[in-house]
A = this chain, B = another copy of it.
Amino acid sequence: MNTPHILAFDIFGTVVDWHGSIVAEVQALYPSVDANAFALAWRAGYQPAMQRVRSGELGWTRIDELHRLVLDDLLPRFGLAHLSEPQRQHLNRVWHRLNPWPDAVAGLTRLKTQYLICTLSNGNIGLLTNMAKRAGLPWDCILSAEVFRAYKPDPRAYLGVAHTFDVAPEQVMLVAAHQDDLAAARTCGLTTAYIERPLEFGAGQPKDVSPNPANTLHARDLLHLADLLGC
């Protein structure tokens, strides 16, 4: 393969454990709620909310605001219609407080020694920055759909990384735990690395992590990716 110059990382599910983090916070704050169902329902609202932006129904809207729209819709279904505005704001910011998978900080630290490592997430810049600062994720640069005003899988997001760093698309490798994200990146000429995250949706809903030969690399986690890339 062409050696990539830039490693661009998907975040939710790939670098951080959104399901486990939300379950833990909801259990602590609202013990009567089915936290697993709550986390899954919140995340299930994510793509449809972004689709409202992609389709033009909504103007450019950041993920913080989209998460809040989904949350407000969700609360009555889980017996939480009484939450105050400050409580809603606090809960909505749980996406800024997601915990990294156990291998993430060590893996990124190794990868950073030989590559430029950046985010390429649909999460907004502020969310990704707060998350990185809290979790110790050592990004060289935080890129987001917000920079390109285009949500993945819009080609402008993937090609935006190459343009930002003045490299050819094939010199950018997208690292993600989602085959659809990687497939869209390949269409734009990026190389791709799949990361197994079998427990992304929790232990009750294990994910198929079988290899797709279309990807350049297939790694168990970010430490394994560092091995594969010789870091």
Task: Flag if B116 contacts A133 (CB, 8 Å).
Answer: yes
Instruction: Give chain B residues whose Cβ lies under 8 Å from the Cβ of A124.
Output: 164
The segment out of A53-61, A72-80, A102-110, A139-147 that lies at the interface is A139-147
Task: Flag if B125 contacts A129 (CB, 8 Å).
Answer: no
Task: Tell me whether A125 and B147 are in contact in the complex, defined as CB-CB below 8 angstroms, given that A64-B166, A166-B64 are known contacts.
Answer: yes
* Seed contacts A129-B165, A142-B142, A147-B147; 9 additional CB < 8 Å A-B pairs: A64-B166, A124-B164, A125-B147, A125-B164, A126-B164, A126-B165, A129-B140, A130-B165, A146-B147
- Is residue A132 contacting chain B, with contact meaning CB distance below 8 A? yes
Q: What is the CA–CA distance of A64 and B166 in the complex, to the nearest angstrom?
A: 10
Task: Flag if A116 contacts B140 (CB, 8 Å).
Answer: no
- Is residue A118 contacting chain B, with contact meaning CB distance below 8 A? yes
Which of A157-208 touch B at CB < 8 Å? 164-166
Task: Give the oligomeric copy count.
Answer: 2
Shortest distance between the CB of A170 and any CB in chain B (Å): 17
Q: Which residue of B lies closest to A148 (CB)?
A: B147
Q: What is the CA–CA distance of A64 and B167 in the complex, to the nearest angstrom?
A: 14
Interface residues of A (CB under 8 A from B): 64, 116, 118, 124-126, 128-130, 132-133, 140-143, 146-147, 164-166
Instruction: Give chain B residues whose Cβ lies under 8 Å from the Cβ of A126.
Output: 164-166
Instruction: Give chain B residues whose Cβ lies under 8 Å from the Cβ of A166.
Output: 64, 126
Task: Flag if A141 contacts B129 (CB, 8 Å).
Answer: yes
Which of B64, B125, B164, B165 contacts A141, CB < 8 Å? Answer: B125
Task: Flag if A140 contacts B147 (CB, 8 Å).
Answer: no
A-B contacts, 26 of them at CB < 8 A, read: A64-B166, A116-B129, A116-B130, A116-B133, A118-B129, A124-B164, A125-B141, A125-B143, A125-B147, A125-B164, A126-B164, A126-B165, A126-B166, A128-B141, A129-B140, A129-B141, A129-B164, A129-B165, A130-B165, A132-B140, A132-B141, A133-B140, A141-B142, A142-B142, A146-B147, A147-B147
Instruction: Give chain B residues whose Cβ lies under 8 Å from the Cβ of A141.
Output: 125, 128-129, 132, 142
Q: What is the CA–CA distance of A118 and B118 in the complex, to the nearest angstrom?
A: 15
Q: Which residue of B lies closest to A141 (CB)?
A: B129
